[in-house]
Structure 1
Amino acid sequence: MNTTNVSIGKTTDSFEDLQILSQKEAEKIAETLQIAEGEKITFGFWTLDFPELICEAVFSKSEEGYIEFQLDFEQTTL
């Protein structure tokens, strides 16, 4: 499984704001991502100012050919 890092938001942002930013960024990534069926790619979403993990996003391709993702906020270091 490949892992890529994305930097968004700041540690001073509320966790709710960071969740919203993560959702929006994941939606943008899903629109441009090219992956094979059965492949999974993980993105770590980190804050810009001081690197704290916000969440992990796992992208995969559905049987219908759509890119799907799940955000895992249990991995946060905030």
Structure 2
Amino acid sequence: MKASNSSRELSVRCGKATDGAGKLRALCKEEARRLAETLSFPPHQAAMSVAFWTTDEPSDLICVGNFAKGEGGAVTYGLDFSQTTLWHFCFFEHAEAALPCCG
């Protein structure tokens, strides 16, 4: 994983555009878990979104992670794959669901 925090926006890079949807999903889940363990929120912020990108250039958006600070300071998260720019991921994972990314 390579995390960056340029321009106040946190992002994660993992996997390649040629990786299968299952592998990308697993990589993102693992990186999100790691990030949730170390993520700290500014005092005035209780939630943030993190973009998960492929490592190759040009990068493709894999998913968006939505992280929130819960009671007791524990960080929870969910991964939203509906915004992916990877056509093969979208086709194989969401073809029957007719999500917006699938057209």
Distance in 2 between the 1:29 and 1:66 partners? 12
Q: Which residue of 2 aligns with 1:34?
A: 40
Q: Higher helix proportion, which one?
A: 2
Q: Which residue of 1 aligns with 2:75?
A: 67
Distance in 2 between the 1:65 and 1:6 partners? 22
- TM-score, normalised by the number of residues in structure 2: 0.68
Q: Which residue of 1 aligns with 2:3?
A: none
Larger relative contact order, structure 1 or 2 (CA cutoff 8 Å, min sep 6): 1
SS state of the match for residue 71, structure 2? coil
Q: Which residue of 1 aligns with 2:51?
A: 44
Percent pairwise identity: 40
Once superposed, which parts of structure 1, at least 4 consecutive aligned residues long, lie more than 6 Å away? Answer: none
List alignment gaps of at least 5 residues for structure 2. Answer: 1-7, 87-103
Corresponding letter in the other structure for 2:46: E
Corresponding letter in the other structure for 2:76: E
Name the count of aligned residue pairs. 77
Matched, 1:25 2:31: yes
Corresponding letter in the other structure for 1:40: A
Distance in 1 between the 2:11 and 2:36 partners? 15
List alignment gaps of at least 5 residues for structure 1. Answer: none
SS state of the match for residue 63, structure 2? strand
- TM-score, normalised by the number of residues in structure 1: 0.88
Q: Which residue of 2 aligns with 1:57?
A: 65
